[in-house]
Amino acid sequence: MALVSSTPLLRAARANGYCIGAFNVHTLEMLQAVVEAAEELQSPLIIQSTVGTVKHLGADYIAAAATVASNRSSVPIALHLDHCSDFDLIVQCIRAGYSSVMIDASHHSFAENVRQTAKVVEVARAAGVNVEAELGKVGGVEDEIVVAENEALMADPGECAEFVRLTGVATLAPAIGTAHGIYKGEPKIDFDRIRAIAAKVDVPLVLHGGSGIPEEQVKRCVSLGMAKMNVATELRIVFSDAIKEVFAANPEENDPRKYMVPAKKQLKLAAMEKMRMCGSTGRADDYRTWLK
Ligand SMILES: [Zn+2]
């Protein structure tokens, strides 16, 4: 089937009390690995690319590969642009075939964040594309965006409600204590804040910084209203470690298939683990109820 907007996938997830893993991919093999994982577990899937990966591969290449994967697949797949602050690039990705985009204007004032997000919602709505926006600041390093820990700001529940009302955004990523990258020690998730935001906001909520969050904390976040969990760093590490292992055993290896195949296999297993953690397995058909 064709790529689908992540809106019905995420509405179904929030309504049914699970979340959907959104996996950042950087190569064709990484994309194929997460698709195989979703297919095997009959899980809905969100494939993501960062702005850096769009610049590296090209939005058209990524969209073409994701479209082929989706056409071959029996599970619903959305293609999402992660953390983008560039309006023109968002439009370029929508034109290329992305079915979901994130406008990240969280580093601006509330009013400016509202203005930029509403502008993207207007363009995306016409194309049937989901929009995610961020409120507060998620700490850590995401691609080219660096937010120091002491600069990370939590989202205010009242502002979240106001933000969704003013922008019409379909999914919201409120900063609630998670960070991008790998945690030093345990993440300090503010569960009460998630509960307070979910009570005021009925759109699906997005958990950023999903690498290395312990399973029981993921489940608690999901039970409180998180419907999408972004995972990037952990998957990159699994993929790269598998390649390193091949070269450690055979430094002379020069057939890309010999190191890509095991890397793909390990990434698939890691993605399946996250899907089980998210509770999205066997949920491939739920979104149909939420199609307009
Ligand atoms: Zn993020």
Give the per-residue pLDDT at 146.
Answer: 67
From ligand 1's centre to the CA of 192, what distance in Å? 20
CATH number of the structural domain spanning residue 48: 3.20.20.70
**How far is residue 101's CA from residue 284's CA, in Å, rounded to a whole number?**
21
Residue numbers of the domain that contains 33: 6-290
Contact partners, residue 184, CB within 8 Å, separation at least 6: none
101 within a domain of the structure (yes/no): yes
**How far is residue 250's CA from residue 280's CA, in Å, rounded to a whole number?**
38
**How far is residue 258's CA from residue 206's CA, in Å, rounded to a whole number?**
36
**How far is residue 52's CA from residue 70's CA, in Å, rounded to a whole number?**
23
Name 145's bridge partners: 142
266 within a domain of the structure (yes/no): yes
From ligand 1's centre to the CA of 132, what distance in Å? 11
Give the per-residue pLDDT at 151.
Answer: 59
From ligand 1's centre to the CA of 256, what distance in Å? 30
167 within a domain of the structure (yes/no): yes
110 within a domain of the structure (yes/no): yes
Active-site residue (options: 82, 104, 156, 286): 82
Residues of the chain with pLDDT under 70: 144-152
153 within a domain of the structure (yes/no): yes
Give the per-residue pLDDT at 152.
Answer: 66
**How far is residue 232's CA from residue 207's CA, in Å, rounded to a whole number?**
12
* Count of domains forming the chain: 1
| 71 backbone dihedrals φ, ψ, rounded to 5° | -60, -30
Structure-token match 């419907």, residue found: 227
Give the per-residue pLDDT at 144.
Answer: 65
**How far is residue 95's CA from residue 93's CA, in Å, rounded to a whole number?**
5
82 is catalytic: yes
1 within a domain of the structure (yes/no): no
From ligand 1's centre to the CA of 211, what distance in Å? 11
Tokens of 117: 């997000």
98 within a domain of the structure (yes/no): yes
From ligand 1's centre to the CA of 50, what distance in Å? 9
135 within a domain of the structure (yes/no): yes
Distance between the two ends of the chain, CA-based, in angstroms?
A: 17
Nearest to residue 273, comparing CAs of 235, 239, 247, 237? 235
